[in-house]
Each structure stands twice: as structure tokens, then as C-alpha cells.
Structure 1
Amino acid sequence: MDALVTTEWLESQIGTNDLRILDATMIEGDAAGDYEAAHIPGAVFLDLKELADTAAPLPNTLPSAEKFASRMQTLGLGDGSRIVLYDHSPHHTSARAWFMLRTFGAHDVAILDGGFAKWQAEGRETQGGKRQLRHRHFTVWADDKGVRTLDQMKANLDSQAEQVVDARSPGRFTGTEADPRAGVEPGHIPGSKNLYFTALFNDDGTWKQGDALKAAFEDAGVDVSKPIVTTCGSGVTASVLAFGAHLLGNEAAVYDGSWSEWGADPSTPKATGAA
């Protein structure tokens, strides 16, 4: 299964025994209610707001491997499942779910190109209500090679072993816009590049691919042939950049704490202005 799948392909696969479809929408409104009103046939709802370390002081940070595995079992996901993710979020939150699933041991994971908006625009079938699948075994496992911590990001200031790419808007990156979180300073990690995550998409909401996708990174001063770590406000749109890099063959890491951690820490240096 490709990392990015089409609506045509997904429609042809619905009903196969090993396929699991997840609505991974996270929005300010009622994503669960939207799912119950209409979703792709067979899909279950993945609550990303709840699937986090809710005891952590930072938003959206990764949960424990045990919590993640438990939630996947409840959703009917098991070892060996082929998983397709979609969303209808302006922040393309299915990429965050993709990053989490791969971190916690699922490898056959794809994102639906164009998401639910494309599916609906094409007049494809939807259904309402909730769907419950029987529990399956999902092994408790985690691989943190794609996750970066605050200490690792501090060390990277000196080593510059990884290019740091920030997915936030230019205004938040340069510091001309105040951070929306209380106690978080404006600006960016010194030496980082700004690639606003929206630059990775076509006007119709589908992903740029090939040369067009590579150009988006290069225009931001990023060399996709070299190591990358992505960051944003809280690790969500950083995952969008990580998925884009994956499509180009670069297994980028994600700084999970992102600017909500770095910007609130008095010990970290902050830069303002353009990169």
C-alpha cells in the first residue's frame, strides 16, 4: 500500500478483511459529531485530542505506548492491519495520526489524498452513526528514533546535524504575530527554516507530489537529501512536514514538544525575523 492513496483506490478496497479506515479529524469544533453525521463507509473515529499524554503540561504530546495500544485495540486495529487515515481539518491532522501510528509500531499506514472533502466532492458513498469493531491485539511497542526531545533539540543547535524546519505561519515564525498560548514567547528556534505547511498542498487540498513537493522544501532552503527534524506549535503540523518529507524519501523526525515547549522555556534561545 502506498503512503498516499486515492479516493478511487480506497473505494475499491472497502470491505476487505485487513483494511481499517480512521477518521483522524481534529478541529476546534465537534469532530466526533461530524463523524457521526457522515463518514466514509466502515470508518471509525480516532480522537486525537484524547490520544495524547493528557497529564503532560504541553498540548498534543505523545501518549504512552500502553495507552496507544489500548486505544487501537478498542478501535479494532490490530497487528497486520492496513490502515488508511483521512480528515476534514484545515491542519491536515491525519498526518499526526500517521506519525503516531508509525511511532507505535504500525507500518502499513496511508493517508487519503484530498481527505473527506474530496471524497464528498466526488459524490462517493458516506454513512452516519458510530461504527464499532471487535477488539484485536495491537502489540505495545514504541520506536522513538523519529521523535526529538528538548535536550536533543538543544544539542542540535551546536551540532547542526539536522535541519530544523518549522511548519508555522510566517508571522508566528518571525515573531510579528504573538503566540496564541499564554507564557510562550514569539519567534523560532535559531537556525531553523520556515516552511508553512499549507505550501505542501494544491489548491484542491490534495498533496503536492514529486518535483512540486520537492520545490516547496527547496524554496524554504531545505535540502531533502539531508536529515530533517520538523517543528510547529504543538507537533501537529510538524507531522504534515514529516509526511511530506516521507513522500520524498526522507524519514524526518518530529520535535514533539515543538514551540509550545521551546517558546515557554526561559533557558532556550529564541530568534525573531526571517530565517
Structure 2
Amino acid sequence: MDDRGYANPEALVSVEELSAILGSPELAVIDITKYLPNEDKDGFAEYRRAHIPGARYLDIDAVADRSTPLPHMLPPPAEFAAAMESLGISNATRVVFYDQKGMSSAARGWWMMRAFGHDRAAVLDGGLPAWIAAGHPTEAGEPPPAAASAYAPAFRPWLVKDIRAVLGNVAEPHAVLVDARPAARFRGEAPEPRPGMRGGRVPGSTNLPHLTLLQANATFRPAAELRALLKEAGVDGSRPAIASCGSGVTACAIAFAAHLVGLPDIAVYDGSWTEWGGRDDTPVVTG
């Protein structure tokens, strides 16, 4: 446990810590930025303009399950392994994920690695804004091809939930379902960023907007504050928990926060509201 009270501090890397190890052959730094459909920005284009030196880009819409129209669903293990090898990542690599907004999609990378059995994954605290604010350099363009590597995934199915599991939990609640969307979207009072979605929430779910886990500079709050926020949302380790959001990205920040403070693993409903709110046969609560 470190001075911030984190039970698993190695999962959260400061910009100073990353700067000290940048360039290490056993390290991979990955920009995993994903902008919402209504943000009118392209993560890869922004990456090419400025990124942490040596970082590579992982497009979660490309490294995804192609058998479903749902966005960036977790890919099959073989496809994930191929993507890791294309990035020069092996099972021994320490991987640090960051995003351009501070902390929006970085935890998705951490969760994807965890789901495929890779525990040497971390998130850059504060992301690219914190890196730049600390005076560290960036570079433009794309890096040279990655060195050859071999990656063998070990899938952990308990970290991923589908719509059947969530429907079952509505019928017979046993797990806490925590929604990471902003409160107004959770209540059905603000439109979803994707067209065609109903507003509202899954019956019985609680709300923990992912931004409340962060300080003003997009770094994670100290452990005591995270534990209090998680407990208020019903996540205290006494019951299983499932995190949800708009499309399975910011939900991973809840799973990450729980890991940071030493709570049991939280599963992620990968289809999240894009799947649930995009159908007309799922129950919805508003208000």
C-alpha cells in the first residue's frame, strides 16, 4: 500500500514514474483514446499530431468483435493476441495505457488486458494532459514497426458480462449493477451520444459517474475517497458487482478504481447502454 492508500499502486503510474522508465525494452506505452460519436474528433489523428515518445496506438473499434454491430466489443482471444503482437507486446511486457482526455478510455485497455490474463498492465494517472503539464516532450507521426513478439491470452470469462447475465440479474438481483454514465443520462434527462438510444437506466442499477472518481486534473482520487464513492454506489465487496456505461469504456474506470483500493474484481457489461438502450425488449427506468 502506498501513501495514497492504494492496495494495488502498481496499476496506476504517475507521469514522473513513466518518464523514468520510458524507452525500457520491456515497456509498451499505448494511446487508447476513444472519442464519443458527438465529440467530432479522431483518436488516431490526434495521436499522430502528438503522443508520448515511443507510444503506439490501439484502436478499440478495430481490435474488436466483428460479429456484432455493437461498438468495440471485446475481440476473440486469437484476434486480441494478434493485436498485441502487432504492438510488440508479449506476456512479459509491462503495458501502460493512457488517453488524450486525461482518464476516459485508458482503463478500458487495462481491463482488456486483465480479461485476457495479463496483469502487468497499468493506467497513466492524468493521461496525456498530465504528461504535457509536467513539461515532458511529445512526438508526432507514427513509430517504426514493433519488434516481433509472441502473445498467449488466458481468457477470464468472469470479468465480462453479456445481456443475458444482466437480464438475469434484473429478475433475480444478486450483483450490484453500477452505471458510469453522467447522472443526467442515467436518469434519462439528457440524450445519449449515439442516435436511436432510449434514455434511462437498467432497473435496480446505481449511478457512479466515472468523472467523480477523478480529481480536477483527471488523476484518481486517494483511496479513502474512492472507497467512499464505491460504497455509496453499493460496491463494498459484500456482493458481486457489474459495471456498465454507454458502450463499455468508462465502466472500466469503476472496475479499475475497485482494483486500486483492493476490492474484489468487478465485471464489465460489455454491451452496456448501447445494447440495452438500443433494444425495445429490455426494461428501462427513468427519473
Which of 161, 165, 182 is matched with 2:178 structurally? 165
Matched residue count: 273
Structure 1 residue 189 corresponds to structure 2 residue 188: no
Tell me, what secondary structure is at the counterpart of 2:29?
strand
Moved over 6 A (4+): none
Cα pair 1:25 1:31 within 8 Å, conserved: yes
- Give the CA deviation at 1:222: 3.9
- The one-letter code of the counterpart of 2:163 is L
Which residues of structure 2 form unaligned runs of 5+?
1-8
Q: Structure 2 vs 1, CA of residues 271 and 90 (structure 1 numbering), >3 Å: closer, same or farther? A: farther
Structure 1 residue 78 corresponds to structure 2 residue 86: no
- Give the CA deviation at 1:221: 4.5
Task: Among all aligned residue pairs of Structure 1 and Structure 2, give the percentage whose two residues are the same amino acid.
Answer: 39
Which residues of structure 1 form unaligned runs of 5+?
none
- Give the CA deviation at 1:91: 5.8
Q: Structure 2 vs 1, CA of residues 234 and 2 (structure 1 numbering), >3 Å: closer, same or farther? A: same
* RMSD (Å) for aligned C-alpha atoms: 1.7
Q: Structure 2 vs 1, CA of residues 200 and 190 (structure 1 numbering), >3 Å: closer, same or farther? A: same
The separation in 2 between residues aligned to 1:52 and 1:171, in whole angstroms, is 29
1:206: which partner in 2? 219
The separation in 2 between residues aligned to 1:162 and 1:137, in whole angstroms, is 37
Which of 10, 13, 17 is matched with 1:5 structurally? 13
Which of 236, 243, 254 is matched with 2:268 structurally? 254
Question: TM-score, length-normalised on structure 2?
Answer: 0.89
Q: Structure 2 vs 1, CA of residues 182 and 37 (structure 1 numbering), >3 Å: closer, same or farther? A: closer
Q: Structure 2 vs 1, CA of residues 181 and 25 (structure 1 numbering), >3 Å: closer, same or farther? A: closer
- Give the CA deviation at 1:113: 0.6
2:79: which partner in 1? 67
Which of 236, 241, 266 is matched with 2:280 structurally? 266
Q: Structure 2 vs 1, CA of residues 89 and 56 (structure 1 numbering), >3 Å: closer, same or farther? A: farther
Question: Structure 1 stretch 127-136 or stretch 70-79: which is displaced more?
Answer: 127-136
The separation in 2 between residues aligned to 1:231 and 1:145, in whole angstroms, is 15
Which of 8, 11, 36 is matched with 2:48 structurally? 36
The separation in 2 between residues aligned to 1:260 and 1:127, in whole angstroms, is 35
The separation in 1 between residues aligned to 2:191 and 2:48, in whole angstroms, is 36
Tell me, what secondary structure is at the counterpart of 1:2?
helix
Which of 17, 23, 42 is matched with 2:31 structurally? 23
- Give the CA deviation at 1:149: 0.9
The separation in 2 between residues aligned to 1:178 and 1:10, in whole angstroms, is 38
The separation in 2 between residues aligned to 1:121 and 1:260, in whole angstroms, is 34
The separation in 2 between residues aligned to 1:181 and 1:84, in whole angstroms, is 29
